[in-house]
Structures are given as C-alpha cells and as structure tokens.
Chain A
Amino acid sequence: MSSVGKNTSTFSEVFCIVCPLGCRIGVEQRSDDLILQGGCPRGQEYARQEVTSPCRVVTTTVRILGGEIPRLPVRTSAPFPKERIFELMEFLRALEVIAPVRRGEVLVENLLGTGVHLVATRTIRRLGKGEEGSAGA
C-alpha cells in the first residue's frame, strides 16, 4: 500500500487478494469518507478493511515443556491488529506451555486485551518416563 499525502485527502492503492485476479483498488481517504475505485464489491470491502483496520491471523510457535517435540505451533483465534503483531510476538516469547496439549485448545485468552485468543494447532502428547523426545516432523 502506497500513500500520497494531501491536505484534505489521502490516496492509496490496495492489492486485492480476495481472488487470484489481483486487482489494484484505489482508495481515496477524505476527512470522514472513503472513496474506492476498481475491483468488485468483495474486493472493495477488503480494501476498506485494509485501509481502516488491517488485521492478520498470526501463526507462530511457542515453547512446550515435557512434550514429544520442543515447539508447539499456535494461531490467533481471529485476525489480529496488524500494527500490534510485534508486540504479540514479544509477549509469546516469554510463554511456556506444559504438555500434553490438544489441537484447538485455548492457551491464552484475550491476547493483549484484543479479545482474540491463542489456540494450539497441533496435538502434542506428554512424554512418559524413559521416552526419548525427537524433533522429527
């Protein structure tokens, strides 16, 4: 998205990713209004969202103790505000989860007050005594 500032309005262009056509949708931001050019209705809705409050599903891994593998893959339960993604990563770096974990289990509720939760995306068993952990995927 590129922006050119004007006194009264801002122009930008959004690459639409709703379908493989990849239209470019022009967005003119006036004081209290958005004017969209190009694309289909779904694309324009996407462009509006991208300009007003862009959000992404964030996926990463967190440390898991006592499990068959050392990292637990996780996702946000819903799209998360884009500008706070690095803040979220910093928060997750300190997180430790204890095995076992089931896929779909909510690990942290209301991440950074956004109302979005952290969800496990893989089932990881707890290792029994004498069992050896292996990283092999």
Chain B
Amino acid sequence: MPRSVDAEVVVIGGGPAGMAAALSAWEWGARRVFLLERNPHLGGILNQCIHPGFGLRLFGEELTGPEYAERYIEALEKTRVEVLTDTTVLEVGGDRHVVAVNREGVWIFRARTVVFAVGCRERTRGMIRLPGTRPAGIFTAGCAQYLVNIEGYLPGKRAVILGSGDIGLIMARRLTLEGVRVEAVVEILPTLSGLLRNYVQCLLDFRIPLLLSHTVLEVLGKERVEGVVVGRVDEKGNPVGEKRLLPCDTLLLSVGLVPESELLKKSQIPLCPSSGGPFVDEDFACDVPGFFACGNVVGVFDLVDYVTESALRIGRRIGENEGHTPPRFILSPREGVATLFPQRIRRGKDGFLYVRPKEGLRKARLSLIHNGKEFHSLTFPLCRPGEMVRLDLAQVSWPEEEGEVQVVLRGEKHVDLL
C-alpha cells in the first residue's frame, strides 16, 4: 500500500532552486513542507561544480558550488522542512498529487502547492546530429565533470571539447589540471558562448586553442574514439574549406542545456516554446493554479544567484494565498531576444525580468513596448548571448491598459571574436 501524505507544499528537486523554494515557503509560514531529492545528498549540480564563481551577487564573495550548496543545506536544517533524499518523483497529477518512490516504498502526496525545481538537462549527441561512428569516449561535459569531481575517474587521456559554453571551458581547465591533454575547444558560432573570464582563466592560461566557426564533422573510431575531423563552417553552420584530423580518445559535448519538462508535460502545464520551460509570472507561478516552477526548469539561468533569487519569490505568494487572478500583461520575445522569463506579469510591483540576447550588441537598448509605444527602457554598453540582461520590475511603470507587451533588444551589431 502506498503511503498517503497530506502536504501544504511539495518541492520537487533539492538543488539550489528547490532548497531556496522550500526555505522561502517555510519562512512565509507554510508547514508540512516536503523537499524531494532523487540523489543521496541535497545540492544538485552544485556538488560537482567545485570551481569558484558562485554567490558573488548574493553573498559578495566567490564561493565554490559545494560551499554555496551547504549554506542552504544548513539553513534547511534549522527548519522543520521534511527532506526526503534518494526519492524519485514518478508522476505529478493536475489535481496536485505527487507519486514518489524510495527505499520505504511508494508515497502519494496530496499537496496544496507543488513546486517544480527539477533543473535542466544537457543536450546530447543525438540532439546535435553528430556524424560518424558511435564508439565509447563521447561524454556530455557535465557527465565528465561528475566522473572527475565526484567519482574520481578521468574520462580519457586526450580530449577535444565541442562547444564553448561555460561547462566546456571549465572542463578544459579541469582535465588539463588532472593531466589530460586538451587538444582544442571547437565552437560552431563565430563568438565564444561562455563568459570571458572563463576563456581567460580556462583556455588562455593553459594555451588551449579555441577554434571559432568550426565544428566536429566526423567522429572516428570503432570501439573507442580515435579522433575527430574538424572543419570551418559558414554562418549557417555548413562546412567550408579545409578539414583536419584531431587525434583524441575523448570528445566532450558542451552544446547547451534544456529545461527538464517531462514531469510538467504529464501534469498538463502550458510550456513556453522559446524557453522550453513552463510559462510563469513574476512570482514563478505557472498558468495552472497551485503549481510553481523555479530555477533552470523555467529557462536556463547563467548565474546560480539568479536561480536562488527566482525561488525565494515563491514563499510570499504561497503565504499570501491571494488566489489565482489572470495575468495583466503577457510578455513576448521580439527582435534581438532569444528568450525571456517570466512571460506573465500579475502585480508588476517587484521581481525581475531575465532576457537572453540573440546576438552580441554594443550600445544596447532593451525596450518594453505596448500598443506600439515604448513605456520602459534600459540601456547598457554591451550585451552578449552568454550573459542575460536582468531588468528590475520595480522600476517599471506599467500602462493602464492590460495586454501584450513586446520585448525588444536593439543596438549596434557586435561581432568581436569574444
């Protein structure tokens, strides 16, 4: 017989988003708060991110991932939030029942509020249609990071990294320190995807070549990777010009992250096509009453500080229990915007809007437009796809009339190498 539990709040996922959501719910007065985590420890991906750079915005110091996680683990220990580790959620119903399983058996939570804090997943070989054979030695960068930093295994001796996102850059340095020879980081775009400081401290410091406008055209090897063929590509990603062979036994893929939306699909929560996650308002409430989502399941943030910030907004909304009014404004991404969240504005009094630029711009201007008229703008000297633009919603005076708001980013096109 499954155990049946009445819960005020069930938070799914014990990474930075889930921990902050549970804490925030507790601090705003919710009781019978459950935090469900499928791994044996809380902390999520932070546990394998042993490099510094976390918490600069929230704590004013550069923490490593495990240090950042422990601050929230310790805060949770001071509450009576019920943490269930080694517990996997199988199903979430539209009536807010949550089915989970662990060593003690099957649990059915009947929750007043369900919070999805299930994070994102790495894009895989299949999703980028990587040509060539299918030997051992191809890993996503995050998987390699887990093997090296948690399990203590090296994935190989000589590596090529495809994609210049931050995890790929961080892993280039990590493998180099552990004695792996990193032949190159290969990036299909003409610009770096990750942060400039990671380019300097992970690649330049160790003289690892960055091949921009290049991609892997073929994987070679039968049992194990023996090399990859790389070549130059045009703006559309089509091969042009010379190819060359890079001998290696390992290929790491750092080719993007996508929100983990499987559980959400089952509970029929509407998803946003541009972010891949659920539509949310400024308190991270979904379109269906009683459901919230925070952190990277909403859309991929570039700083954990913003993930925490998003999750901490949930408690007040649950505590106020003000009901589910329709949103006043619907934000849609337009010119220059790859994606944005939240996509709905209910109160418009506080919170933040996160905007991912489509391309690099100098003298950039972010505009909020309603009925063809710009009612709010923000200017900044430079924006890049690798760094989100964050707009403080408390600064915005919203129009009287409700409706659609178009979000536009304009500026001088900036195609510097980095």
Contacts and interface: CB of A to CB of B under 8 A. Distances in A.
Q: Output the residue of B40, B146, B199 with the most chain A CB within 10 A.
A: B40
A83 to B, nearest CB: 10
B58 interface: no
Contact of A71 (B64, B70, B149, B387): B149
Contacts of A86: 177
Interface residues of A, number: 31
Interface string B314-358: 000000000000000000000000000000000000000000000
A61 interface: yes
Given A75-B64, A135-B150, A137-B150, A61 B196 contact: no
Nearest to B48: A137
Contact of B205 (A56, A70, A73, A136): A56
A137 B47 contact: yes
Contacts of A135: 150-151
B51 interface: yes
A81 to B, nearest CB: 12
Given A82-B205, A85-B177, A73 B50 contact: yes
Contacts, number: 88
B39 A137 contact: yes
Contacts of B40: 68, 134, 136
B129 interface: no
Nearest to B197: A17
Interface residues of B, number: 39
Q: Output the residue of B39, B48, B64 with the most chain A CB within 10 A.
A: B64
A123 B70 contact: yes
A3 interface: no
Given A15-B199, A17-B196, A89-B177, A57 B50 contact: no
A126 interface: no
Contacts of B384: 20
A64 to B, nearest CB: 10
A91 to B, nearest CB: 12
A105 B195 CA distance: 30
A135 B50 CA distance: 15
A95 to B, nearest CB: 13
B418 A22 contact: yes
Contact of B387 (A20, A69, A73): A20
Q: Output the residue of A21, A59, A69 with the most chain B CB within 10 A.
A: A59
A20 B196 contact: yes
Contacts of A30: none
Given A56-B201, A59-B51, A15 B196 contact: yes
A136 B50 contact: no
A59 B152 contact: no
Given A15-B199, A15-B418, A86-B177, 4 more contacts: A17-B196, A70-B152, A121-B50, A122-B67
11 contacts: A21-B382, A22-B196, A56-B205, A57-B62, A60-B174, A71-B149, A73-B64, A73-B66, A75-B52, A85-B177, A135-B151
Q: Which 6 A-B pairs have the closest CB atoms?
A: A17-B197, A122-B66, A137-B47, A73-B50, A22-B196, A136-B40
